[in-house]
Structure 1
Amino acid sequence: MAPSTQFEVAQPPNDAISALVFSPDSPSRLLVSSWDKNVYLYEVVEGADEANLVNSYEHRAPVLDVCFGANRDEAFTAGLDQQVKRIDLATGEQTVLSKHTEAVRCVVFSPEHSILISASWDNTLHIHNTTSPSQPHLTIQLPGKPHAMAASPSKVVVAMTARLVHIYDLPTIASALASGPDSASSIQPWQQRESSLKFLTRAVACMPNDAGYATSSIEGRVAVEWFEDTAESQARKYAFKCHRQAAPEEEGGGDIVYPVNALTFHPVYGTFASGGGDGTVALWDAEAKRRMRQYQKFLDSVAAVAFSQDGKYLAIGVCPGFETGMENYSGEGKTKVFLRELGETEAKGKGAK
């Protein structure tokens, strides 16, 4: 079995990292979005412990999220310029798909339904049919400001302020899109839930087997829940503390609590990784309810994590966090992207075959 290795990506962003994502059909292709107003495309060199910068794509304002589209050459971005954009990664051409009235916080793409969903701080979702870009998008009103969003093969989970969580059914959304621009009102949440976490949701990730999702909060906790709305299924949900450090005795002891900034599920084994403001990344077995391992501490906060589609790589975005309330923030020179090539069973859970 090959041992795991970890290396730093050359030419990282110049400011805080907002998102990392691997291509669904090219496990060596990585996109990174940043507050420096750029999206970066890297190619991992197999067996060489390095990743090369292929290109960067400049935006008018900080980019808050990025995702791949239908193939390795299509990407979508969300940003502080209030725009949802499509990028042709081969040519660099950028196309505005829609414009919100406030910053766009998240974008997710459903390859199963060719749907792009953007979530904005104007309390709306925009639903785009990516196979017909000229078709008008649908707008869904939200009861709160969205802070995190993730898609499974059949569901979209939107976490908002006031502990609100809405789960939408993707086949229902696809049907509404096909019915035309007047069908937005037919899109209602499949489920409405109250978050199991008492504080603001920082990240959401969906299980690859379409069974449920995990959320994390600014207060060092992660919750794991299942979609199925039965008493038995709901009884399985749980939450736990993580990304905390013991405070020195001279400071009164207790725990120093850090935000859990990022979550990502392993596409093969269904285990998941969390990244926190304490500068650590941990691997968790959702079924066995246990921490499998915690990696060495990074010098700064872990802002984003992502597994490659084949489960071979774990990308980790590191940059100074906002935990100390610093006024003159600068991620320049401190922003780093690490790639960990996992050992064969490194992310394998207790019950995995």
Structure 2
Amino acid sequence: MFRQPPKDAEISQPPTDTVSEIAFSPNSYLLAGSSWDNQVRVWDIQNNGTSTGKAAYSHEAPALCCAWSRDRNKGRMLDVATGQAVQIAQHDDTIRCIRFVEGDNASPIVATGSWDKTVKYWDLRQPSPLGVVTLNERIYAMDSLHPLMVVGTADRKVHVFDLNNPTQPFKTLDSPLKWQTRSLSCFVKKDGFAVGSIEGRHPVTGTFCTAGSDGSIVFWDKDARQKLKSFTNLGGPVLSTTISGDGKILAYATGYDWSKGFQHNDGTTKSTIFLHSIAEEDVKPRTK
């Protein structure tokens, strides 16, 4: 049965179905979440862990991803101040990933990755894509910190892009993991990236966190290849995590992950989001 983890605050008005992705605004305590109930929601998180609904809008189908602009509180594009939402991208199949990829003082450029095997770049001021990259397989994961962008595909390839030349992969690598790529995350120093898979392990390669269907979250020091802190029994599979821009709040979504199909979804695993206050000693690399 579902039980709330101790000391972690549950988000107000959580999604009514499985959460696909959550993301903190890089400049504020605004938290966005996309869900299989077709909704994208935005919450305003307070320092004491309370939260209030800020904005929401509906898609015509499940929303599988969300992202924030660096200098605008918008997502796909939802203007949080006005509540207006407009379509900014179009693919021939499901859009699985979306990231803002602009550099400092640059135009608002969005990259989308789709199961139609393409990555498209969009200037929010224009209706047609700026560029299209066709890959060999469906896009399953993507992350970017300008000028680095990495894209994971269904054939266990990881395509590395230099966004100064965005329509041609800089290099293509085989995933170091044996199974399907589920997540990618660029290092803050932009000198590498982490890969997550369905097999339940990860590359321990800075500090970052991993989470999984075993209902646990682990903080790691990639340089020392050392586990820093573990949290277990979090009420169900952990579906997505995000850390606030100042590094003080960890948000994590729990719910049924559909790994065993519809017939095993008995409704006892609640779809929700929790907020965890990060203690410095839990994530600070330890002195050798």
TM-score, structure 1 normalization: 0.75
Q: For this pair of structures, how many residues does the alignment match?
A: 280
Q: Deviations over 1:256-290 (max 9, x none)?
A: xxxxxxxxxxxxxx311111001111111111111
Q: Secondary structure at the match of 2:82?
A: coil
From 209, 215, 224, give the equivalent of 1:288: 224
Structure-1 separation of matches of 2:246 and 2:217:
20
From 220, 226, 235, give the equivalent of 2:200: 220
Structure-1 separation of matches of 2:287 and 2:142:
28
Alpha-carbon RMSD:
2.0
For the pair 1:168 / 2:161, whether they are aligned, the reply is yes
Query: After superposition, where does 1:187-336 map in structure 2 within 5 Å?
Result: 187-223=167-203, 270-327=206-263, 329=265, 334-336=270-272
Structure-2 separation of matches of 1:153 and 1:207:
11
Number of the residue aligned with 2:131 = 138
CA contact (8 A) 1:213 1:224 kept: no
Alpha-carbon offset, residue 331 of structure 1: 6.2
For the pair 1:88 / 2:79, whether they are aligned, the reply is yes
Structure-2 separation of matches of 1:188 and 1:45:
42
Number of the residue aligned with 1:341 = 277
Number of the residue aligned with 1:255 = none
Percent identity between matched residues is 30
Structure-2 separation of matches of 1:41 and 1:334:
19
Q: Secondary structure at the match of 2:86?
A: strand
Q: Structure 2: any 5+ residue segments left out of the alignment?
A: 1-5
Alpha-carbon offset, residue 317 of structure 1: 0.3
Q: Secondary structure at the match of 2:214?
A: coil
CA contact (8 A) 2:255 2:269 kept: no
Structure-2 separation of matches of 1:319 and 1:291:
25
Number of the residue aligned with 2:101 = 110
CA contact (8 A) 1:319 1:331 kept: no
Alpha-carbon offset, residue 324 of structure 1: 2.9
Structure-2 separation of matches of 1:210 and 1:191:
15
Q: Secondary structure at the match of 1:32?
A: strand
From 113, 118, 123, give the equivalent of 1:119: 113
Q: Secondary structure at the match of 2:120?
A: strand
Number of the residue aligned with 2:67 = 67
CA contact (8 A) 1:15 1:35 kept: yes
CA contact (8 A) 2:54 2:80 kept: no
More strand by share: 1
Q: Deviations over 1:141-174 (max 9, x none)?
A: 011111110112211100111211101111222x
Alpha-carbon offset, residue 320 of structure 1: 1.2
Which structure has more relative contact order (CA 8 Å, sep 6+)? It is: 2
Structure-1 separation of matches of 2:155 and 2:227:
29
Q: Deviations over 1:324-345 (max 9, x none)?
A: 3343647697111110111233
Name the CA shift for 1:297/1:124 in 2 (closer, same or farther; >3 Å): same
Structure-1 separation of matches of 2:93 and 2:146:
28
Name the CA shift for 1:332/1:120 in 2 (closer, same or farther; >3 Å): farther
Q: Secondary structure at the match of 2:219?
A: strand
Name the CA shift for 1:332/1:108 in 2 (closer, same or farther; >3 Å): farther
Number of the residue aligned with 1:100 = 91
Larger Rg: 1
Number of the residue aligned with 1:181 = none
1:102 is matched by which residue type in structure 2? D
Q: Deviations over 1:186-234 (max 9, x none)?
A: x211011011011101111110111110001111121256xxxxxxxxx
CA contact (8 A) 1:117 1:126 kept: yes
For the pair 1:11 / 2:4, whether they are aligned, the reply is no
Which sits farther off after the overlay, 323-332 or 138-147? 323-332
1:123 is matched by which residue type in structure 2? K
1:334 is matched by which residue type in structure 2? K
Structure-1 separation of matches of 2:242 and 2:186:
12
Q: Secondary structure at the match of 1:346?
A: helix
Alpha-carbon offset, residue 56 of structure 1: 1.5
Q: Secondary structure at the match of 1:95?
A: coil
Structure-2 separation of matches of 1:213 and 1:324:
29
Q: Deviations over 1:34-54 (max 9, x none)?
A: 00000111111122x311111
